[in-house]
Amino acid sequence: MNFIAKLFAVIQGLVVVLVTLSAAPALAHGEKAQQPALRMRTVHWFDVDLSTRKLAVNQMLVVKGSFIPSNSWPAHVASIENTAYLNIGVPGPSFVRLDSRINGVPTIRSSSYERGEQYNFEVTLKARTPGRYHLHPIINVKDAGPMIGPGIWVEVVGDQATFENSITTLFNQTLNLETHGFANAAVWSAAWLVLALVWFGYWLTKLPLVLPRYRRATALGENADEMITTRDRQAALVIMVATLMLVAGGFIYASERWPVTTPLQTGKVKTPTLKMAPSPVSVTMDDARYRIPGRSFRIELTVSNSGKGPLNIGEFASGGLRFINSAVLKVTPKDQDDLVAQDALRVEGGPIKPGATQKIVIYADDAMWETQRMTTMIASPDAVVAGMLFLFDAQGNRYPVEISGPMIPLFGG
């Protein structure tokens, strides 16, 4: 049995090594692996863009955009109305974040966001490491995880050795944050490692170690306390005293060396909602059907227009996918991985006349439903879908409206 167990362990190790060596480099974050219900019914992202697609080390990159927490937020997912935090998703420490704001409020702390309200964000980053990165805005929701926004490719050129990340403290000290505190952390790590090795080394002298002592400790009629000798207790006392002295000494040293400190900011900041002009549009989703063989989404809507001019549907966005009505809106993809179907939205029954309530049918047909793994929405227990509808008037004004409702999958036809 021991031989079989050892052979199995060797084979398992070889498999892990071979898989690791043969793995291809990841080109993106794998956001399409996220469940369609989370992508469609949590956070609607739009207008996300970068100030530049290519920059050098030490140059600034600004990420801007907007998001609306969905009114159809799944009941089983922790709500964004409790605690959430805006972040930027990028492979490794490729950038340094210098500033981030939502509706003009600094977001160095967590916040909460109301469903159905629009929030505009702006994040300033400093390029640190050369490379080509797929960058995403992300909202981390407490107890739910990250809600990933659309990704955009950005390239950083130059030499990382030239990167500068210095600050000036209140005491007019200039600190290099790339190296500040490293020596101190290394010394303390070494001290604790030495202490741990001394303690571990002492018990190595007490052979045999694990199994014989375990059997004796669990055997009926055996007094396990007899295995602990006076010398063992003395060694434990020495290690305990050394530990307490290191902790107390470290505290006293830090208090003398850095008498003025700022604790980590763990509170929440309130982010006000935007004061938006009343929308002239009201939309109700009457029926939604996804035809699996044709990868076609058909949605029946009731649209009311209380404005002074006709409105046309120019875009339907859901789960990070954008379907464009090219007769109304012209959109150029940001890069080869921008999830935009430029002429994939067909509208029947429009435009919506001023003062009228009309039945509209839209068709969002594209292979992206399959390639982006959105077709698994048919396996959702509640079969509810959601997305953003963007309507435009003759002057080019845009009116975003969320639509949501049950979806029926069609397996034929």
Report the CATH number at residue 302: 2.60.40.1580
For the stretch 14-36, pLDDT in tens is: 554 454 444 444 444 456 778 88
- Among 87, 88, 52, 47, CA closest to 66: 47
Examine residue 305 and state whether it is found in any structural domain, yes or no: yes
> Is residue 101 one of the residues assigned to a domain?
yes
| C-alpha R_g of the chain | 29
The 10s digit of each residue's pLDDT in 179-205 is: 999 999 999 999 999 999 999 999 888
- Whole-prediction pTM value? 0.81
164 and 192 housed in the same domain: no
More confident residue, 10 or 264: 264
Domain span including residue 311: 281-410
Tell which of 135, 150, 171 closes a domain.
171
Structural domain count, the chain = 3
96 lies in the same domain as 144: yes
Amino acid at 385: V
Tell me, yes or no, whether 139 lies in a domain.
yes
User: Looking at the structure, do residues 66 and 128 belong to the same domain, yes or no?
Assistant: yes
Tell me whether residue 109 is in a domain: yes
- pLDDT for 23 equals 44
Same domain, 102 and 235: no
Are 380 and 37 contacting, i.e. CB atoms less than 8 angstroms apart? yes
Average pLDDT, the chain: 87
**32 or 92, which is more confident?**
92
Residue 115 token pair: 């469903």
Residues 196 and 161 in one domain: no
Q: Are residues 102 and 187 in the same domain?
A: no
Cis before 208? omega within 30: yes
pLDDT in tens, 43-72: 999 999 999 999 999 999 999 999 999 999
Residue whose entry in the numeric block shows the structure tokens 């980590």: 264
The per-residue pLDDT for range 224-278, each reduced to its tens digit, is: 777 888 898 999 999 999 999 999 999 999 999 888 888 887 788 999 999 888 8
